[in-house]
Amino acid sequence: MRNECGYTGYQPYLNWAKIASDPLAAPVFDGSSTSMSNNGAYYNHSGVSIPSVAAPLIVLPPGTGGGCVTQGPFKNMTVRLGPVAPALDYVPLNPAPNGLGSNPRCLRRDISTIATTTSTTDRNVTDLVNQNTDVLDFQNVMQGDFAAGLLGVHTAGHFIVSFH
């Protein structure tokens, strides 16, 4: 990004475990100019279906957001690609079968406290490292085993930041 776009900032790091108990109170989501914007406006919806609306193996209940981000650096951002596998049933489907067609819409967010408290705590991260003795097991547990109801540390991280 520095070479191609002239970006002079740094790559942010989000310590999932540090904010797991209350991600909505984390400064990274407070809507200030140095944050990743806030939770989306409240939108009445049925939750997030993982891996997709078409094949839900895990459903995260709706949170307090779900609508367009209203504060911070991304409040007027237009998302143009995706979704490839829609996790929300009210986000406009992409017109291209591969999910790469132009699909302009606002940036939506519904930060999931269920994802954080069940999958990204210090215990989850520590167990991931200590209880998986080979790369395949580690990878499978980290990514999640949706059919078994396991969200996984990595997948849960997506639903903390929760861009749609």
According to DSSP, the residues that pair with 132 across neighbouring strands are none
φ, ψ for residue 43, nearest 5 deg: -140, 125
What are the extents of the domains in the chain?
A: 16-161
Record: fold of 16-161: di-copper center containing domain from catechol oxidase (1.10.1280)
Residue with tokens 């191609």: 4
Report pLDDT for 68.
Answer: 95
* Least confident residue range of 1-15, 46-60, 139-153: 1-15
First CA to last CA across the chain, in angstroms?
22
Report pLDDT for 161.
Answer: 79
Report pLDDT for 156.
Answer: 92
Average pLDDT over residues 19-47: 93
Residues 60/153/87/113 CA torsion (nearest 10 deg): 40
